[in-house]
Structures are given as C-alpha cells and as structure tokens.
Structure 1
Amino acid sequence: MFSRPWYRASPMLRANILTRIQSFASTHPTPTVRRSKTLRRIALGTTIITASGGAIYIIDREYNSSLIARTVRALYVLLWIAYEYGFNSSKYHDLNDLHEVASERLLQLLTTNKGLYIKLGQAIANQGTLFPKAYQNRFPQLYDDAPTDSWDKVDAVLQKNLGVNYQEEYFDWISQEPIGSASIAQVHKAKFNGNLGGQEVALKVQHHYISNQVVVDLWVYHFISKVYEKVFDIPLSMFSKFISEQLSTEVDFVHEMQNARKLQILIDGDPELKNMNLRIPKNYPELTTKQVLPAEWIDGVPLTKKEELLQKRYDLTLMMTQYIQLFGRQIFKYGFVHSDPHPGNLIARFNNKGKQELILLDHGLYTTLPEKFRLQYSKLWKDLFLLNTNGIEEIALDWGIASPDIFATLVQLRPVNMNSQNSNEKDTRDISDLFKDFIGDRSKFPKELTFITRTMRMIQSLNRDYGSPVNRINLLTNEAIAAISFERNISWSDYWDVFRIKLSMIFSGLIFRLIRFRQWVFGSTNEKNQGLEDYIEMYMENTAKSLGVEWM
C-alpha cells in the first residue's frame, strides 16, 4: 500500500516535514546563498579594516604626531636600502645607479619624516666624503628644506609652556610669521612688555611633534645602525648610542640655555677672547622651558651670505680669526665644544662702537671632552706639527686606532705623510676593510672624536668658501700649544719643541702669504685664484681616491 503524498498528509506531518526542509536549507545553503554570505563577510571585514585603519591613521596623525606612520615608513625605506645594497645590487647597471636611486629614496624619507630625521640627514651632509657622490650632491639641501609650523600649532606650544594668557602677560607683540626654521624648532620675532623690560627677542619654539617623536626616532636610528653594520660590515652602532645621547639633549631648551650661559662665562673669564668682540645672545631663564627659548634679538648678517658681508665691508680675515680662535679655545682649553658651527649659526654685525662682532647662535648641541682626551688631542696637534711619529702612534694606540697615517690626515685636515709609501698607489681595500683597519679596538675609540672631526670639517669648509683668508692650521696649532703650556710647567725639551713648531709655522706662514699674494694678483674671478684650503682639499681628494672614497 502506497503512502499518501506529503502535501496530503496530516497537518502535523506536513509541519514536521517543512521544519526538516528549512533546517537542512539553513545548514546546507545553495551555491548562490554561500557566495552571497561570503561577499557580505568580505565587505564587512573590508569595512572594519578600512574604518580601523582610517581611525588609527587619524589618531596617529592628530594625537600621536604620525609616530606609527613615520616609523613604519622609516623601517620600510631603510630596510629596503639595506636589502638593495646587500642582496640585490646585481639588478642595477652599475653601483652608481643604485646610489642614485637609494639616495633619492632616503632623501624623500628624511624630508617627509622631518624632525630628527632632517638632523640626522644633515649629519650625513657634513660627513659627505664617506658617502658616494649621489648622497653628497643631494643631502646639503636638507639645510634649506626645514619645515615650518602653522601659527595655531605654535600658539598651542606656547600656551602649554607659558600659560593660556602668555601674550597678555609677557609680550607686546609676537610675529606670527617665523623668521627662520630648522629641524627641531622655528624662530619668531617678539617684544617683551614693559614688565619684562620691553626688549625685542628671538622666540624659539619647538615643533609641536618633536617631543612625541624623539624617543622612537632615536630607537629607529639605533636599530638601523645595527642592521647596516651587519649588512655592510662597517662599525656604525659603536657611534649610534653616543650620537643618540647628544641629540636627545638638543631637544631640551633648558639644556641649550645652560650651554649658552656656560660658554659666555668661559669667554668672560678669558682675557684674550673677552677683547675679541665675541657675543652670545642673552637668555631669559624665567621664560625658558623644554620647548620655548627666548633670547636677545641681534640684527646681523649670517655667515652664509658672503656677498652681503663683502658689500657691507665686513673684514673676512678678522671674522675667520674670531671664528677659529673661539672654537680652538673651546676644543683645546675649555673642553666644552659647540658642535654645530655651520655658517647659519653665526652672524656678524658692527656694534655701537663700530667694532665688528661675531655672534654665535644655537647652543643645543655641545660636546664635553673628558680631561684626558682634551690633553691628548692638544698633544696630538703638537706631535703632528713636529711629525713626531712615536707620539702620534702612542695616542693612536691608546685610542684603539690602527692606521696612524689616515688618522693624522683626518685630525688636522691637511697633508700628513708619515712614511715613504707611494701616495699615488691606489688602496684596493673596500670601505669596510678601511674602517676595520682604521679602528682596531672599538672599546678604546673616543666617541667625542666624531663631533670634533665634524666641527673641524665645518671650520675648514667655511675658511675655504671665504677664499682661505687665514692660516687655519697655524691658528689652531697656537691654541693647542697654549693649552698644553697652561696645564703644566714647561721643561727645556718643551721649549725646544715650541721653538721648532714656531719655525715650522713661520715657514707655513710664508707659503700662506705667497698664496694670498697670488690670489690678489689674479683676482677673485680667475680660476687660478686658489687659496691654501683649496690646495689642502686637492691633497685630501687624492688621498681619499687612493682609499676608494669619493671626497667632495
């Protein structure tokens, strides 16, 4: 006997069958239903991810100073550069093509990330001779590309540091347009109100994003130094901790104010420098914070503007003498060195008495030299002038340096030939071998030498740009001898050494005057108008090429 069709079954049976069908359908969807649900899930997931990513981006940008975005960007670009050089260079036609691509990517990263990245890029620009020409050609523009903050950002920093009513309490007016900007801060011209004396001041305000970024930025720098050390086999990380410590103090304006006041006290207590018309702008401790630094406003001409200095009849010889003696005294006698002496941080002016003054700005980055290192460095200059091979090698050994010849040249930035090896013979070692041969014992190497060499290079470059109006080597050697004499009783052998140095300096001075006479005869537009620093530079370039380094 056949069963009745389900649709003719009893109501209870039909209900049971329909329930089972619906249950099966819900657990076994058709392909169309499955696709529909999958698409809905993908759409939902995409929406959540996009919304979350957008929210993270906005929060990161508005409240975290783009910390996440810039860190990811930095790690990506820097690791990409390491990979291209270390493992993928064969895809380029030659190494110069890779240098061009990598230097452009790195420059874009630094200018996009701003802040300490620009400061680190400027350090590369100052040590350009260690890098290929693609880097040397691009990175000097970092001195011109410093970003500026809008007034509302500046106002927020000032309110945070000086109080909501800071304008009414302290100032008659503040110019909302910055007169200058650098990697860490920008400067606005302002005038104190009568309660504070009514002076015009340069109001230095830190970029609003710096305080949030500095710790992570320095961590990225230290991490990448370790990566590059592994990839290129060059001892970079040995410097990164010291450099990070120096840069972290530069973002504290209270520290900068203290540096300026300390140097002013040292100058005031030095009879010779006190009468050389050197000036440090006055600071105002009562309104100085970590992010705000008011200082005396001084009108003048930056040393970057050579043509304007000449038009206004400034004496470049006097200016370079002031500049070199000030820094020579800091290095050899005080052991307290302004480590960012590029021309933009110096201005010249004529004071009320018509005397030419040199004003030193931006006191954020200083290097304090240990006493032992300061005395050894002073003695090293004396030994270099006397070509005292034993003395040079003794200091080099104590500093963990295994290549006295290269060491001697780098210290004085002048020709120093300590052996008879043919200087035209090209050294076939690569740069990593040169580094390893130069620094024999990393634990002994004085990290302060990094900043001292950088300072010396800036001094040499400015003297060269001005046409070598002074004998830099003689001026600095005089400072070194004076520092040694000041520290100890002079013996007869010391007198003999000083006599020999003075004779050598007379000969050096004679050569310098002959070169200056040649410059005067041929005039400033003739290609033969080369100063002493130009000849030194040519020697340095040839020496660098023999070591496989492109000097610029």
Structure 2
Amino acid sequence: MCCTIGSWVIIHMVSSFLVIRTTAMIESYVPSQILMPSQCTLITLDYKINFRPDKADRIPQLHERVADRIYNLLTSNGGLYIKIGQAIGANAALMPRPMQDRFGRLFDDAPQIPYSFIESVFRSEFGRPPAGLDGVFAEFEEQAIASASIAQVHRAKLKTGEWVAVKIQKPDVSKQVEWDLGAFRIVMWMFENWLFDMPVYFAVDFITSHLRQELDFLQEAQNATTTAGFIAAEPRLSGRVHIPKVYSEYSTRRVLTAEWIDGVRLSDRTGIRKLMGEENLASGAPTKSVQSTLGDVRLKGGLRAIMQTMVELFSAQMFSWGWVHCDPHPGNIIIRPHPRHSTRPQLVLLDHGLYVKVGDQFRRQYAELWRALLAADWDTVERTTKSWGIGTPDIFASATLMRPVRFRSKRETISGENDFENGTMNQYEQSVRMKERLRGFLLDTDKLPKQLIFLGRNMRIVQGNNQVLGSPVNRIKITGYWASRSLTTSMDLTFREQVKEYWHDITFRAIMFSIDLAFWMSKLKQWIKIKLGRTSEGFEDELERSMRGFAKSAFGVDVAPGVFAG
C-alpha cells in the first residue's frame, strides 16, 4: 500500500483523487458508507499481513488482488464511485501497474433517475410540475440528455420560446452529504494516524468546504456570472469564450436553468476534428457527441485555435483573476461557431459548481514560481517551495511542468538514487524507498497553500486536453507568458518595481525561445511522420515519455503509456 497511499502526497499528481474521492461520497447511501470503510479495512489488513520483506516475490500478486478489489467495489456502486476510479486512472503514475491498468477502462455515464423523481423535485422547488398547463416550462423533455452523479440535465423550452438546459439535483444527495463526508474524514484520519503515516488528512477541511458548495446551484449560478464578468473585461478572451446565461427566475438551490448551447463537446475527439477541419488526422473510435445541429459546419483555426484559447483562459484564471474553475474536463467544454462570426470557434465553459479563490500573495508567488521554473532560477523555486513546506522542490517542479526537473548536481545526488534503475532492489525495498521519498515531499502541511490541490488538478486536466488532441499548442510557453505578464500588472507595484518586472518579463521571453524551438521541432517531426503515414507523437507525448523515465529512475515505478494524459 506504500505505493498506493504514498502517491496521494504529491499534490499535482494526486489532487484529483482527493477531490473526486470526496465528491464520490456525496451520493452514496448508507450501505456504501459502511462498505467503503470496510473494504479499506480489508485492503489495509491485506497489506499489513502480506507486505513484508520475506514475501517480496508475492507483492505483484498483492497489488493485483487489491486493484481488483477496489475496481469491483467502485463499479458495483456506480455513480460517483466510477469517478473515483477515473481519478485513480488519471493520477496513477506512482501507483502499482495493476492500478494503472484497471482504472483506464472505466466509463463516465451515470444512470438516469426516473422522471417521477424529477417531477417531485420541481414540485418541491417551484410548487408545480416541469411542464403542462401550469408547468414551469412550455416543453420539458423527460429523457435526460446527460446524467452525472449528483445531477442530470434535461432540455426544455421556455414559454417565451428559448431552449434551455435544466440541471436537476438528484434526490437524497444533500441529505447524505454530511454522513458521507464524515466517512471520508474518518478514513483519511485512519490512513494518516493508524495505518500508513502519510500526510493525507491536512486537506480534508478545505476540500469538504468547497465540495459542499457544489450542492448549491444558486452558488453555481453566481460563479458563472462572476466568470462571465472576468471574461468580458479581458480583451484577449472576450468573444473567444462564452459562459451560458443563467435564468435566475427558473433556478433554485436544486434546479439550475441556463442557456442551451448547441455545439460539440471536447470529449468528442472525432467530432471536434471534423468541426475544425482536421478530420484527416483523426484516430480511434468516435466518441459520444452532445446533441448538435451543426451539420457540415467547418471552423477556421484548427485545433490550435481551440487549445490556445483554453490554455489562455485557465492561465488568466490562475495568474490574473485569482478565480479558478476546478473541473475543466473535456465534457465540460463545448466548441461552437461564434454567434457573430460563423467561421470562428468559440469555447463554451460549463459546470461552474466548483471554483477556488486565490489570494493576491499566493497568486503572485505562483506566477513567480512558474517564471522561475522556466528561466531555470532554481534559487527562487527552492525559496518558494520551502516557504510552502515542500522538501523536494525538484519533484514539485516536475509535477508542475509535467516534465522531469532535477536541481541537484551529480555530487549532490542522494545516495542510492539510481538503485531503481540498476535493479538492485526487490519489490518490497522499492516500495519502502519510494515511501521515504514521498514522505520527504511534504515537510510542513500547515504551510502548504491548500489551493494547490485544486490548481494541480486544473493544470493536469488542461495538459491532458492538449495531449489527446495531438499537442497543437505549446502549453508550457503560453502558461509561462501569462504568469510573467501578470507580474507586470500588479496594482500595488511602485513605478520602480513595475519597471523591474517589465525587464524581467522581456528577459524571460528571450529565455523562452529555446522552449519554443523545442516545441516547433517536435511539431515538424510530427508533421513529417504524418506525411509518411507513420504514427506521430506530439510534444506532450514526448514530455510524457520523459516523465515515465523520471518515475522509473526516481521512484522505481513502471508507468503505463497514457498515464500522464490527464
């Protein structure tokens, strides 16, 4: 279990697991509340009994057994428990190979609840049914167009004629939340204090307080309005990004009504490539698309235009606004033609239930960290990470950039660091050594900015979105530019400080030329291979390959291809 629990400590590879695992307990029922801790106890006992030096040759079978047990538990419960498995699969880089293999196969659909339950929610919230003579809407489609774990979405028509998307919270979710979050709290406390001596409990309060907000759809409506305001005030994004209009008169804490958007979800890779005129590059099976009437519409700019906007949007959130959408997975992003420019793509951002506010001091530190990472200013990186209670800045830097970063010279290399590569340790010794290194990652959890948990998840998903589309943009460069530029626009700078920041920004852009050159060389190789009819590898794929090597040499973990794909 050292490999499994230990990976939670690395914020940028594990944040989604903490967030989604907590979310997953929101919709469970009492049997699931009992089942999850009991299964955790069985897994714990299995490791306590069988994870021993004299049984080192049986540890691979132990990992297989536990992976099967967790996989079966999650799939049998369904709903949000599926998302636990997806989070494990997306953040399994430092987990045993069986974990990586099992959780890459999970699907995302949640079962729909019967229409009778939907009608009961409407009568409770509005005192009338969804449709009919005295109904809320002129028309209401009883079949949901999408079903997630805490809510499902139906298409409806207002009495004024506009089509809308209606998000309805599933029954019993709010009733169970405190029980489920309490179960989560107990399990995390046990893992830290009784079982594995790994710091996992420190983030529980921060995560649960934010996840409770997701159950309040009025808060989600306010979040959407706030984000729309930020976008309208940013010339570089205004018009390129759209937030669906919320109809407050048809929204309550359990029902959210917003503008209907017709387009193609980013998760529909085949549909997106077709929409952007790059279907000749498509690979793999078609994926489910949002209901669309776009037909044979083709937009200009290609996949690069989409990802350029996306990376800039989330960079602005982190470095300029301090207001971060924490779930930018492909299902929450729709691409449509711009309403006033029919050949231009517009990115539509959905699901505004979970946001994190980032204070000015931390936002500035985070921007300085990014600029220092890309400029190889290791003194600044170490100073910042140390102030956050992080003991291994090179691991943190690698997880942030999603590429290997090493600060130490050969003379300063920790004794035994190459033992993983040399193959001199058995499975038990590798796991023990890995746990030691992970425990050195977080030295003081009280200092760690808890926002990093959600920021890490955000950046991992954006990175994955870029990778699955073939790395059309240099994500690292774009993010670095926004970080550096944001430091020149701080309102509390003196004239002298502002001049200094502008000089740093100019110098930084010159340094970034080498990163951009590497990106375009990668794009050239990718283009040549496509022309020759060979399998191509994008820039993010190359970074993933190097990260797999880093995981092997630093932690002795055999990472499966695609684990870093987000």
TM-score of the pair, normalised by structure 2: 0.81
Deviations 1:340-385 (A, max 9, x none): 1111110101133212111111111111112221110001011111
Structure having the higher helix fraction is 1
Instruction: Report the Cα offset of residue 495 of structure 1.
Output: 4.1
**Amino acid aligned to 2:39:** V
Q: Distance in 2 between matches of 1:336 and 1:174?
A: 34
Q: Distance in 2 between matches of 1:246 and 1:132?
A: 30
Select the residue among 174, 181, 185 that pairs with 2:140.
174
For 2:556, the aligned partner's letter is G
Question: CA offset at residue 232 of structure 1?
Answer: 2.0
State the alpha-carbon separation in 2 of the partners of residues 525 and 70 from structure 1. Answer: 53
User: Which residue of structure 2 aligns with residue 99 of structure 1?
Assistant: 63
Task: Answer yes or no: is the 8 Å Cα contact 2:311–2:478 preserved in 1.
Answer: yes
- CA change 1:491–1:261 in 2 (3 A) is closer
Task: Classify the secondary structure of the residue corresponding to 2:142.
Answer: coil
Report the Cα distance in structure 1 between the residues aligned to 2:224 and 2:50, rounded to whole angstroms.
Answer: 48
The amino acid across from 1:333 in the alignment is S
Residue 359 of structure 2 aligns with an amino acid whose one-letter code is: P
Moved more, 302-311 or 85-94: 85-94
Q: Distance in 1 between matches of 2:405 and 2:97?
A: 25
Q: CA deviation at 1:127?
A: 2.3
Counterparts in 2 of 1:459 and 1:66: CA distance versus 1, 3 Å: closer
User: Given that residues 380 and 392 in structure 1 are in contact (C-alpha distance below 8 angstroms), is that contact kept between their aligned partners in structure 2?
Assistant: yes
Q: What's 1:216 paired with?
A: 179
On the 8 A contact 1:350/1:357 being kept in 2, the answer is yes
* Alignment RMSD: 2.4
Within 2, Cα distance between the matches of 1:108 and 1:285?
Answer: 41
Assess if the C-alpha contact under 8 Å between 1:267 and 1:273 holds in 2: yes
Q: Which has the higher contact order (CA 8 A, sep 6+)?
A: 2
Report deviation, 1:103. Answer: 2.5
| 2:481 aligned residue (478, 503, 511) | 478
Deviations 1:299-319 (A, max 9, x none): 111111111222222510000
Following superposition, the deviation at residue 121 of structure 1 comes to: 4.1
- State the partner residue of 2:271: 308
Structure 2 distance, partners of 1:66, 1:410, is 32
Which one-letter code corresponds to 1:391 in the other structure?
T
1: CA distance, partners of 2:73 / 2:473: 39
- Encode CA deviations 1:421-471: one digit per residue, 9 max, x unaligned: 379824655343222201111111111111111111111111111111100
Q: Kindly indicate whether the alpha-carbon contact (under 8 Å) linking 1:86 and 1:232 is maintained by their aligned counterparts in 2.
A: no
What is the identity, as a one-letter code, of the residue corresponding to 1:188?
H
Q: 1:416 to 1:93 in 2, by over 3 A?
A: closer
- Mapping 1:447-458, distance limit 5 Å: 447-458=450-461
Q: What letter corresponds to residue 548 of structure 1 in structure 2?
A: G
CA shift at 1:262, angstroms?
0.7
My pick for the range that moved more, 410-419 or 522-531, is 522-531
- What's the counterpart of residue 321 of structure 2? 334
The 5 Å alignment of 1:121-520 reads 121-167=85-131, 168-193=134-159, 197-229=160-192, 230-275=194-239, 277-312=240-275, 313=277, 314=299, 315-352=302-339, 353-354=341-342, 355-421=344-410, 425-426=418-419, 430-487=433-490, 488=493, 489=495, 490=497, 493-520=500-527
Q: CA deviation at 1:100?
A: 2.7
Structure 1: gaps (5+ residues): 1-64
Letter in 2 for 1:174: F
Larger radius of gyration: 1
CA distance in 2, matches of 1:293, 1:525: 50
Among 538, 542, 549, which residue is 1:535 paired with?
542
CA shift in 2, pair 1:174/1:473, >3 Å: same
Are the aligned partners of 1:519 and 1:529 in contact in 2 as well (CA < 8 Å)?
yes
Tell me the equivalent position of 1:51.
none
Give the counterpart letter for 2:305 in structure 1.
L
Q: Percent identity?
A: 35
Distance 1:376 1:153, change over 3 A: same
**Cα pair 1:282 1:295 within 8 Å, conserved:** yes
Runs ≥4 residues deviating over 6 A: 90-93
CA distance in structure 2 between the partners assigned to 1:242 and 1:114 by the alignment = 26
- Aligned mates of 1:518, 1:236 — CA distance in 2: 42
Q: Is the 8 A contact 1:172 1:192 kept in 2?
A: yes
Q: CA deviation at 1:491?
A: 5.1
Look up the SS of the partner of 1:438 in the other structure. coil
Deviation at 1:493, TM superposition (A): 4.6
CA shift, 1:511, in A, is 1.9
2:175 and 2:89 map into 1 onto residues whose CA distance is: 25
Deviations 1:46-77 (A, max 9, x none): xxxxxxxxxxxxxxxxxxx9833222222221
